[in-house]
Structure 1
Amino acid sequence: MEAYAVTPIFGLILLLAMIGGARWLLMLTAAMIPFGMMAVITLPSVGGLSLLAVNLSAAALVGWGCLALIGWVMAARPIRIEPATIALLCFAGYAIFSATVLVRLFAGESMVFALARGATGVRVSTFFAWGKVWLGPSNANISQTFYVLLACGFFVAAVHVLTRHGAGFGARCMALAAWLNLVLGIMDLAALDTLLSFIRTANYSLLNEATVKGIPRIVGGFSEPSGFASASAMFFGFFASAFLHSRRRGDAVLALGSGTMTVLALSSSGFIALAVVGVALAPRLLRLRARLRRPEIIVIAVIGGILTGVIAALLLFTSAPDMVASVIDDLIFSKTESSSGMERTAWAMGGLEALRDTWGLGAGTGSLRSNGMIFVLLGSVGIIGTGAFLAFLFLAFGGRARGANAAQLSNARMGGLAVLSTMMLSATVPDPGAPLMLLAAIAVASRRREPARAPEAASGARDYAGHIAGEI
């Protein structure tokens, strides 16, 4: 086991959060989302597996949730299960089945792109080094199934926390994470790599020196631009929607800053996520115009005039138009012609081939590397698992909410739309991840109407169990 300088600091913070209760664990997990490359412990005996801070925080919250569940049972309280939870449990159950049974049932029947980078296998193209191996059980089946179960447990625990403390508490957790993401992005922009190395501890390939047409790409607390762009686009969608509802300056700053960081990451998935969210928010922007007061219209006109002048100057007196056109062409229009684009296309097709070779059942969670969430799900958990996950998304983000919760539901949908847009383009494993699960929990909690309950007094085994249940 390998520890780092950040390990004892994070351990102390985690301990304090556990003492504070489930809401502090949820806030800590949200705060760790921008630290996508911060490993607390690395296990060389398990192929150098890095245990990320966000996953350990989520695991602590799940453990607390298990104690709460025991408390509810001991207190003989009714347990309410959301329809979205049932769909997610079905997805997790099939993920376990596929990783333990299907991978052995179809072993040797299909060739797949393995998750392990060391498994080069049989070369299938001269444009990239990744090769195919025969389908069979591996350690990746265990690790990826664990991540799926962790995401499922985190969602359930987060729903209970937000049901008690309100969906607005989830928005505060998102705000904390968004501010941290901005700080890390600014630090990377300022080339403070020495400081950032303190939290970039995972044994991933660090791509902070990557450029596009000589323009450096920002990665923040992540290992590569696409991860930072995905997180930044999520915060942009959430807080752009929040600003249109509240018109608070803090929401506007977070939305503008997160959108800027998404652009500076120079990731094709980030640009597409911004475009998707922009199109989704366009009707609300048009409706907002009718509700603006005169001072607000003047401020917007002044800012718009300044931006228009700056853009016009750049277009007329610099080579910016050619540079921007070249960057967009490389990142989006010519992406499939690059070695990376061809490699990811081959991964996506490999997922469909695995679906075909397994008769639509899937090759097993962690059995293959594909590209794009749909192709990953179809190749790994087949039609049944994919259907369960899509049902979860519909049940979690669908429906209506009333009053202030309607805004929270809308914000969660915009953030979820951004995350799903990037996952549909760049996901390689079936792990839903903490960001999407947190947004889904906010959406579910915003539709609940039951009032929050105060924790019961702890006296005796029964009252103690009720107290633990009340905490979460």
Structure 2
Amino acid sequence: MLVSPPRLSFFVIVFSTLFGAAAAFGVPGLGGASVLVPSLLLAFYCLRLFMAFGEKPVFAAVSSASPGIWLLLLTVYGVFSALFLPRLMEGVTETMIVLRSSAGHRIIDLTPLSFSSNNITQTIYAVGGLLCFAFTYAYLKCGGTARDVINAMLVLAVANLVFALLDVITYRTGTAHLFDFIRTANYALLTGSEKAGFKRISGTFPEASAFAGYTIVLFAFTASLWIDRMRTVTTGLVAGLLLLALLLSTSTTALVSLAMVAVFLFWRALPASYAGHVTGRPGAIALAILAVPLCFMLILVLMPEFAKAVQEFLDETLYSKLNSQSARERMQWNAVAFQVFLDTWGWGAGLGSARASSYALVLLSNVGLIGTVLFALFVGNILSMKSGGGIREHTTMRAAKAGVFAGLCEAMISGTVYDLGLLFYLLAGSAAALRWNPARARTFRPAAAEAVQ
């Protein structure tokens, strides 16, 4: 990546986010924690763009004129909290954390607050997220285009669908071991589970819920492009297939997130359609929302034997979820996380010190009220930005914001740790950069910057 064109480096880092269960190597000193392939490639991505464009656009990404300033402040506070709060408040409360051993075993248990390897790993991920945001912003300010973002995300979406299909095929043919080379991280792998007779799609990820959380972001991005009539045939087909994959993942989180994303896209499409613009498809979205239950009822009438399987599926996915062992365990995590927030007087226990099953409680228990407010300001600024570029920049920025919103929805429902993944920060950086008029962006080009091509 160090000698490749910056555009290729951008495509590589976007594509690498697909391999969420692939470890580059392990770190025995941190209890066998895995360094994932995307995290390793991020270092080369940042170095390559720094060599090409210098530090000026990177600093612009976290200046007072950019939403990145709030992410910078959040990261600085997060690092401070990870280094000092677990020591200052040692023993004040008990937290749910992942306990690792050098043999690679991992358990989640309630332990007295103290400094641990989780503080180090989550700090590294937090800094990585900030760098990913800043250098993606720098790339798009210094020669990258909205077309690059669209192409990279479409390639990523298609690759995700291909791996999802291969996951089902290898499971049904007894050749699931062929995926072992991309499932090397020190995670508990739940890739062979079924629900009501349906294979829970996990793709390249360690479990179906992780696949669904990743896929909902891609769906929101491509669906937004389709609504805004950007490459209508391609984006519509890809969005439809991603929707099917989400449903087949049988993830409760995916279904709830999907409902929230559909409402967001419908609400956003209305002004685009009734303000004299040619974009926006509220009619199509409303028709789809009405057609799905009607078609579903028609299938049940014509195929009564299918009704029992559907009933079992819905019972396992939705109705019995709150009474399951997993749900009770996660509700306990949330209760403990909120108690941590109270016991630490709103400061939080330090980044990486606590685990929950909702991102809001992760923030409150880890970085406290200050960190939660900073994160809200960062996301709020990203989602409220207006585009200053052309139609392609405007459309791509809207799609990136939809992806950020989808990732946030999934995290708020079932997020367990501070790190939201590199794809979230890639899209946030893209949205922040594309709000600027290209004419202004040229002022950040170094005099002798290398060609992006």
- TM interval, shorter chain, is 0.7 to 0.9
1:143 shift after superposition: 0.9
1:453 shift after superposition: 4.4
- Tell me the equivalent position of 2:265: 281
Partner SS state of residue 190, structure 1: helix
- Please list, as runs of the form range in 1=range in 2, the aligned pairs for 1:2-151 lying within 5 A after superposition: 17-67=1-51, 72=56, 79=60, 81=63, 82-116=65-99, 130-151=108-129
Partner SS state of residue 99, structure 2: coil
Distance 2:359 2:292 in 1: 40
Change (3 A) 1:118 1:214: farther
Distance 2:242 2:254 in 1: 11
Matching residue's letter, 1:37: A
TM-score for both structures, normalised by structure 2: 0.86
Aligned to 2:219, which of 217, 236, 256?
Answer: 236
Deviations 1:347-395 (A, max 9, x none): 1111111111111001001111111110000000000011111111112
State yes or no: 1:250 paired with 2:228: no
Matching residue's letter, 2:223: A
Contact persistence 2:198–2:248 (CA under 8 A): no
Change (3 A) 1:51 1:385: same
Contact persistence 1:233–1:419 (CA under 8 A): yes
Q: Which moved more, 1:278-287 or 1:44-53?
A: 278-287
Distance 1:282 1:325 in 2: 29
- Tell me the equivalent position of 2:357: 371
1:117 shift after superposition: 5.5
Distance 2:246 2:260 in 1: 13
Change (3 A) 1:409 1:342: same
Percent identity of paired positions between Structure 1 and Structure 2? 29
Change (3 A) 1:311 1:29: farther
- Tell me the equivalent position of 2:449: 467
Q: Which moved more, 1:164-173 or 1:383-392?
A: 164-173
- Tell me the equivalent position of 2:130: 152
Change (3 A) 1:389 1:252: same
1:83 shift after superposition: 2.6
Contact persistence 1:115–1:367 (CA under 8 A): no
Q: Which moved more, 1:80-89 or 1:416-425?
A: 80-89
- Please list, as runs of the form range in 1=range in 2, the aligned pairs for 1:324-403 lying within 5 A after superposition: 324-402=310-388, 403=390
Deviations 1:142-194 (A, max 9, x none): 11100000000110000011223123322222112111101100101212523
Change (3 A) 1:311 1:249: farther
1:72 shift after superposition: 4.6
- Tell me the equivalent position of 1:13: none
Change (3 A) 1:389 1:291: closer
1:272 shift after superposition: 1.0
1:456 shift after superposition: 8.3
Contact persistence 1:210–1:217 (CA under 8 A): yes
Partner SS state of residue 95, structure 2: strand
Deviations 1:263-320 (A, max 9, x none): 111111111111111112234667769999xxxx9xxx9xx99997786244432333
Contact persistence 2:22–2:36 (CA under 8 A): yes
1:321 shift after superposition: 3.0
Contact persistence 1:162–1:442 (CA under 8 A): yes
Distance 2:248 2:31 in 1: 33
Partner SS state of residue 92, structure 2: coil
1:101 shift after superposition: 1.0
Distance 1:113 1:86 in 2: 30
Contact persistence 1:217–1:225 (CA under 8 A): yes
- Please list, as runs of the form range in 1=range in 2, the aligned pairs for 1:288-307 lying within 5 A after superposition: none
- Please list, as runs of the form range in 1=range in 2, the aligned pairs for 1:213-232 lying within 5 A after superposition: 213-232=196-215
Distance 2:397 2:321 in 1: 34
Aligned to 1:413, which of 376, 379, 401?
Answer: 401
Higher Cα Rg: structure 1 or 2? Answer: 1
Q: What is the Cα-based RMSD across aligned positions, in Å?
A: 3.2
Distance 1:100 1:71 in 2: 27
1:230 shift after superposition: 0.9
Matching residue's letter, 2:318: I
TM-score for both structures, normalised by structure 1: 0.83
Change (3 A) 1:147 1:273: same
1:68 shift after superposition: 5.6
Q: How many residues align?
A: 430
Matching residue's letter, 2:83: T
Contact persistence 1:159–1:445 (CA under 8 A): yes
- Tell me the equivalent position of 1:202: 185
Partner SS state of residue 34, structure 2: strand
Unaligned ranges ≥5, structure 2:
none
Contact persistence 2:32–2:100 (CA under 8 A): no
Contact persistence 2:17–2:422 (CA under 8 A): yes
1:471 shift after superposition: 5.6
Unaligned ranges ≥5, structure 1:
1-16, 120-128, 458-462
Contact persistence 2:31–2:101 (CA under 8 A): no
